[in-house]
Amino acid sequence: MIVLLLGPPGSGKGTQGRRLSQRFHIPYLASGDLLRRAIEQDSLFGREVRQYIERGLYVPDKIMVPAAIEELNKLRREQGVRGAVLDGFPRTRDQAEALDSALTAEGTRVDRALLLNVPREVLIPRLAGRRVCRSCNASYHIDHKPPPADGRCEVCGGEVIQRVDDKPEMVDGRLTVYFERTLPLVAYYQQQGRLVQIDGNLSESDVTGSLVGAAEAVAAAAAQRAPAVASEGASRGAHA
Ligand code: AMP
């Protein structure tokens, strides 16, 4: 099962994506994490993409698509499954079409795009108060879930920071880019009957419940289509 989390910055894709990945035993690919890791490592790729991230702009498709598809394949190979939770990739229509062709070639596809709807006026304070662990990307919020007083992540001990692109002067621009460039993807998946809309303005656990419900429906439909593959996945404890 391959599910894509769609939604504006601050809609909870990271938190929810990790939960879905654990729940269904499939890898979690967050394109933003992939890019930030490359920047941390100061790789050639990291140096190339840094200029875009720091200005709140999308990394061009011709750089983003091969990197994301390579990472997706690597994660699935490592875990020995065909499924994945995608967060932040694809983010443009061209990216979605490129991913569709790659997946069609191997006989899979994005089963569902799960859109987290959160009003803009809620997103701005969520992003402005967000703090993240530099190492494991665990997410905090200065009001609702403050990071430990020593500034160290409670999960891994890494440094908790504010992302450059979460600074108040960047947030508005990022939201505008999302509404212009990513919203057309919603229509793309809707036309193909692959979109599920989720109210993302509820408690984290309620949002998780809705997402798990939607993903279980996908897994059940896949099991009906291909009982042999599904039972093989179930015996490994995975909806792969
Ligand atoms: P995120 O962590 O998903 O909010 O992504 C942070 C930033 O990484 C975005 O604002 C973009 O600059 C860049 N980025 C992440 N994913 C993509 C993508 N699929 N295409 C282009 N740029 C991306």
Q: Which atom belonging to ligand 1 lies closest to the Cα atom of 60?
A: 21
pLDDT of residue 224: 80
Q: Would you call 134 a catalytic residue per the annotation?
A: no
Question: Can you tell me whether residue 167 is helix, strand or coil?
Answer: coil
Contacts of 148 (CB under 8 A, 6+ apart): 154, 160
Residues 102-113 have a mean pLDDT of 95
pLDDT of residue 173: 93
Contacts of 161 (CB under 8 A, 6+ apart): 131, 132, 133, 134
Q: What's the CA gap between 41 and 50, in Å, rounded?
A: 11
DSSP state of 159: B
Over 60: is that where the pLDDT of 80 sits? yes
Indicate the pairing of strand 84-87 with strand 2-6. parallel
Placement of tokens 């920071």 in the chain? 161
Ligand 1 pocket, residue 166 CB under 6 Å: no
Question: Can you tell me whether residue 64 is helix, strand or coil?
Answer: helix
Nearest CA to ligand 1 atom 6: 32
pLDDT tens-digit map of 130-181 = 999 999 989 999 999 999 999 999 999 999 999 999 998 999 999 999 999 9
Count how many Cα atoms sit within 13 Å of the Cα of residue 88 in the half-sphere of its side chain: 25
The single residue of 36, 91, 112, 126 carrying the catalytic annotation is: 91
In degrees rounded to 5, what are phi and psi of residue 129? -95, 0
Residue 65: count other Cβ atoms within 10 Å of its Cβ: 20
pLDDT of residue 233: 46
Over 60: is that where the pLDDT of 228 sits? no
pTM of the model: 0.91
Over 80: is that where the pLDDT of 38 sits? yes
Percent of the chain with pLDDT over 70: 94
Range(s) of the domain holding residue 173:
2-120+168-238
Over 70: is that where the pLDDT of 231 sits? no
Which helix or strand (DSSP H or E) is residue 149 part of? Answer: none
Picking from 76, 90, 77, the residue whose alpha carbon sits closest to that of residue 31 is 90
Residues 22-28 have a mean pLDDT of 96
Ligand 1 pocket, residue 7 CB under 6 Å: no
**C-beta of residue 112 within 8 angstroms of C-beta of residue 4:** yes
Is residue 127 in a domain? no
Is residue 133 in a domain? no
Q: What is the CATH number of the domain that holds 96?
A: 3.40.50.300
Is residue 21 in a domain? yes
Q: Would you call 130 a catalytic residue per the annotation?
A: yes
Is residue 200 in a domain? yes
Is residue 130 in a domain? no
**Cα-to-centroid distance, 59 and ligand 1 (Å):** 7
Q: Would you call 174 a catalytic residue per the annotation?
A: yes
pLDDT-derived band at 223 (thresholds 50, 70, 90) equals confident
**Cα-to-centroid distance, 31 and ligand 1 (Å):** 6
Structure tokens at 205: 């656990």
**Cα-to-centroid distance, 89 and ligand 1 (Å):** 8
Over 60: is that where the pLDDT of 230 sits? no
The number of distinct structural domains making up the chain is 1
Residues 67-75 have a mean pLDDT of 97
Residues 46-74 have a mean pLDDT of 96
Is residue 31 in a domain? yes
Query: Who has greater pLDDT, 225 or 191?
Result: 191
**C-beta of residue 61 within 8 angstroms of C-beta of residue 98:** yes
